[in-house]
Structure 1
Amino acid sequence: MSLERPISVACVDDYAELCDLTAEGLEATSCRLQTTAITDPSSVTDRLAEFDCIVSDYEMPGIDGLELLRQVRVLDDDIPFILFTSEGSENVASDAISLGVTDYITKSGGSERFTRLAHRIESVVDAQRATEQVERTREQATEAIRTERARFRALIEHSPATVCLLDDTGTFQYVSPSMEEVTGFVPRELRGESAFDRVHAEDRERVEREFAKSLSNPDYRPTVEYRFRHKSGDWRYIESRGANRLDDPDIEGFVVNSRDISERRETERRLRRERDLTDRILEVSPAPLLLMERDGHIRRANDRAAEVFGMERQELIGLSPAEPSVTFRNADGESIADGEYLWEVVAGAGTAMQGVDCEASLPSGDFWLTVSASPMSGEDRTLVVVSVDDIGPL
């Protein structure tokens, strides 16, 4: 998901002309910003789902900026809320911070105030979207692993994103509190240190190269995986996404969002090992073996299975009863109803069946079979191992 996609902004100010001026100024500054001018603060909470960010004036009758912030935070803890104050109204900052304001910016200056505000909106919304993308990626990876291999359970239950700010030398200027969950170090222990000092020696040059590339080309946003030494001494795999905002006057730093992917890397290693083990078992078994999905698709087959069916191995893989050239019948030659195929019964019941007689028609010919089947061990029983105990032509 690109962080460059449009951002929907609610501009809230009871003074219609100033409200329109802010909305127009933001859209003129950044083509990413799509603004909606709102002069009635009481209508904002009913429309929160429409916006990625809220920019509100402070001094408004009835519902001022702080009260609007309080009402918004009751409904949504995460949506960025920027208080766009008049000159001299910074005295509300402490109250705003306690209520969960994202930032407050003064209205002083000419058109550059819209540049500052637009940059800040992009920064906070991009950070929020990056955090959401981390969670979506975690869920997608977990689901993919669960589908591919039944015995794996979800390993990535919580993967908090950290936010760091580096200078142009790669030195930590700011470290979010969540960094302790990932590295074991509290922020003060990392501030002032080089971000590369604890990167594994074999990964350091690659990480520094990606950092340098983004320094020379601010539009380049690197994503890099590397090993980082935890405070305990262990090596943790980290995925970091960077954005060069050194020229942004509101940030003046290199923003890095990171997460611990050590469990994901270990899961991938285990998945590769299990795949290799399955392949080896298929190859060394003297019996014809098929690995079938619940819908009857043949996912894998060993050479012995291809031999007894008179087909090439790659021709056998992928066949299913959905194809006109493939049919399975019971021992009396009668059609089998949906839901009663051997692999469906075994997968649904989660128990093995042995010595089942049936008939099969494949592109290579018609056969009588005696087969046994067993579900893959684990929580997901969508895969079934079928062993051909005996076979002959019809």
Structure 2
Amino acid sequence: MDIEPSSTDSDAVNRDDSLAPGFVKVTETETQIDVLHVDANKAFVNTTAEFLENQYDIFVHPASEPEDVVEHLANNEIDCIVADYDMPGGNGIELLEAVREQHPELPFILFTAKTPDEIAGKAISKGVTDYLQKGTSTAQYELLGNRIHNVVTQRRCELRAHQLEQQFVEHAEQTNNVLWTFSPDMEDLIFINSAFEDLYGISTDRFQDNPLCFLEATHPEDRLHVEEAVNRLKDGQPVDIEHRVNGKKDHQRWVQVQAQPIYDDNDEVTRIVGLITDITEQKERENQLRQFKQAVESTGQPFYFTDCDGVIEYVNPAFEETTGYSAEEVIGKTLKILQSGAHDQSFYETIWETLLDGKTWHGELLNQRKDGEQIVIKQTIAPVTDETGQVNHFVAVSNDITEQKTRAQKRKQVIKRMTDGVFEVDADWRCTLISDHAQTVLGVSESELLGENFWDVFGNAQGTTFETEYREVMETREPTSFVEHYEEFDRWFDVQVYPNDDGGIAVYFQDVTERKERERCLELLDRVLRHNLRNDINVIRGQAEIIHNQSMNGIGESAQKIVKKSDNLIQLAEKERVLVDILQEQPEVIDVVVRPFLKTIVTKMESTYPHATLHLECPDEITTTASAKFSKAVEELISNAIIHSKSDDPIIEITVRSTPTDVSIAIVDDAPPIPRMEQNVLLKESEPTSLYHGGGLGLSLVRVLTSRSNGRIELDRVDAGGNRIELTLPS
């Protein structure tokens, strides 16, 4: 037979809208009990109903056949079924089986004339709640009423307990905290919610099997501490400890464990309950606060903390050192203790207005130490607000800039006396300093410039290279230098621009108009000499060749000497051209692979001087850095070695050696010693003069190119006779 489910199993609790959502109110045991009595003997059912209703407030719903049970359970809230064994179309055991399929917990009492020996064992195996044999006296009704009352009351209590337990579990699963209950000996786990798994990294199933496995998830350094806490709980003492857990996450989780033994009326521990809270974030905040305090305590900057009335609550050691006051002397007092009298009341009112408006104040203060010495303080004061946004404290960080101010004043005094022109502007282009010489050159006085916007005073500089370069340094904070003509003054200036610590720039300049005039004259003279000297010498040389070809004896030899001297003068003019070009160019340093670099030069020299032999000894893959025209220096040295050789078939040795820091190129010849004057030119001990021949000009070229390559020159004589010139460049 099929039995439909009813709401009977949940009628022991009622919802109360006055309680918080999710909570229910447990009612007192209902006075009325609804019983479904299934028996084919209607008279017996009526008699039983009358007695139970009068004596026990038990309302009986009669049913004569098992099929009637379906309708009754669907339409009524039944607390208990009382059934006979013998009934039409079946028996009580079969009815019991059908009921248990849909209502496994509904109390079911067999009330039958059958003896226990006949059916009790089978009934019990099928889940009967109680068994009662019918009698002939009214005592059977009293016994039945008591049995019904007991099983229903027990069932209702079980329902209440079950629903309360369900409520507890549901609410426990909604919290991130771990709730647990242990037996008094801590060996049996009674309850724990799922938050335990995430916090400890251990499944609740494993914890159920081995309640002390949580010690495995405890940090090794904390286990003894936790074990001692467990022992205190076993001894009936409460605990409140903190420790690290979760080995799967390197024990980075911190927990607070609070546990309490629960005692009964006999003062015996019945269970141990506990709450575990994840305090990892709290620990991180505490650590951050600790680190912050350590930083504040160890910083060299004075730091203090006040309430909203300016009463000092905390100062760090740097504050004590800077002001000369100890913490005990200033805590509880206002900042007036530091005032020097240099600022009027309106100055401090402005500070207070800024702070109380929730803004940060930055500025300089002239304060007074305990010993009376005045100090300049660069200070930042910020308001601290509570959760409502109200200002309740102020925090300040200071810098003692007294020495810096003194140095700045001395620097200004030095700058004002400098022969170079100097002026400075801040980040807003306000002029803050100008030297005396700059005032003279620029035609503006200090009073006219200081505090003014630079572009308002020098509007004609806008749109020029000066503005472009100044703004570039202001933006990039990278220094620069340039030479430029200023149209308003019709003067040339060599300018160097540097970023300042205050966000502005410093400009150093020299009037180089006369130098530029000399350079222009030099360029003009160079062009004239190149053109006229070369042309005139070529004419002289041509005429000498004609005389040589048409004359005999001494006249021809004299003409040949004129040709040779002409060639020397042409070569000298070429060297002069190369040297002037190099001097006027911006130096450029390039990377050089030494062996192919020298191989190209050797090939060129062998072509120019076929009677000479050049030996090159240079390992592969040696690299250096040198001037882009450094090959001219090597060619000059090799040419001189060949020209001045004592042999008609000169041999020149070129050897390259390298170290981790240097690359040296040595050129060895068999020529006579280099004259002292030319040595001095090569080693920069003197310049070539008009009293000496043009060889010094070529050696000047070698010296300049080596210097521009960040190299050096060494000169020695070799044992076999000859010169050894070594050029050393950076590796």
TM-score (norm 1): 0.51
| Counterpart residue identity of residue 244, structure 2 | R
Counterpart position of 1:197:
216
| Contact preservation (8 Å) 2:200, 2:217 | no
| Counterpart residue identity of residue 66, structure 1 | V
SS in 2 for 1:198: coil
| Contact preservation (8 Å) 2:201, 2:246 | no
* CA distance 1:197–1:333, shift in 2 (3 Å): closer
Counterpart position of 2:292:
274
Question: How many pairs does the alignment contain?
Answer: 259
* CA distance 1:223–1:204, shift in 2 (3 Å): same
- Verify: 1:245 aligned to 2:262, yes or no: yes
Deviation of 1:272 after TM superposition, in Å, equals 0.8
- Verify: 1:385 aligned to 2:391, yes or no: no
Counterpart position of 1:254:
272
Counterpart position of 1:76:
20
> 1:171-212: CA deviations, max 9, x gaps?
533212332343344432321213333322322222222222
* Distance in 2, Cα, partners of 1:202 & 1:349: 46
> 1:278-315: CA deviations, max 9, x gaps?
1111xx34xxx241324323344455644564533432
* Distance in 2, Cα, partners of 1:248 & 1:184: 38
- Verify: 1:311 aligned to 2:311, yes or no: no
| Contact preservation (8 Å) 1:306, 1:316 | no
> 1:113-162: CA deviations, max 9, x gaps?
xxxxxxxxxxx9xxx9xx9xxxxxxxxxxxxxxxxxxxxxxxxxx97322
Identity of aligned residues (%): 17
Write the mapping of 1:59-74 to structure 2, written as runs, cut at 5 A: 66-67=13-14, 70-72=15-17
| Contact preservation (8 Å) 1:224, 1:240 | yes
Match of 2:379 among 362, 373, 379: 373
* Distance in 2, Cα, partners of 1:197 & 1:332: 66
Counterpart position of 2:363:
354
| Counterpart residue identity of residue 382, structure 1 | F
Structure 1: tracts of 5 or more residues without a match: 1-63, 105-123, 132-157
* Distance in 2, Cα, partners of 1:368 & 1:227: 52
* Distance in 2, Cα, partners of 1:309 & 1:390: 12
| Counterpart residue identity of residue 345, structure 1 | T
Write the mapping of 1:220-239 to structure 2, written as runs, cut at 5 A: 220-229=237-246, 234-239=251-256
* CA distance 1:185–1:271, shift in 2 (3 Å): same
* CA distance 1:176–1:313, shift in 2 (3 Å): closer
- Verify: 1:165 aligned to 2:181, yes or no: yes
Write the mapping of 1:109-124 to structure 2, written as runs, cut at 5 A: none
> 1:51-95: CA deviations, max 9, x gaps?
xxxxxxxxxxxxx9733xx124x6314778555547423545687
Higher Rg: 2
| Contact preservation (8 Å) 2:303, 2:315 | yes
| Counterpart residue identity of residue 260, structure 1 | D
* Distance in 2, Cα, partners of 1:256 & 1:304: 47
- Verify: 1:209 aligned to 2:247, yes or no: no
SS in 2 for 1:273: helix
* CA distance 1:343–1:317, shift in 2 (3 Å): farther
* Distance in 2, Cα, partners of 1:351 & 1:213: 53
* Distance in 2, Cα, partners of 1:253 & 1:227: 25
* CA distance 1:366–1:335, shift in 2 (3 Å): farther
| Counterpart residue identity of residue 180, structure 2 | C
Deviation of 1:277 after TM superposition, in Å, equals 0.9
Structure 2: tracts of 5 or more residues without a match: 1-10, 31-149, 387-392, 404-731
> 1:352-390: CA deviations, max 9, x gaps?
421246x77x9x587876543324699877322244545
| Counterpart residue identity of residue 380, structure 2 | S
**Structure with higher RCO (Cα < 8 A, 6+ apart):** 1
SS in 2 for 1:239: strand
Deviation of 1:262 after TM superposition, in Å, equals 1.6
TM-score (norm 2): 0.30
Write the mapping of 1:126-145 to structure 2, written as runs, cut at 5 A: none
* Distance in 2, Cα, partners of 1:271 & 1:92: 55
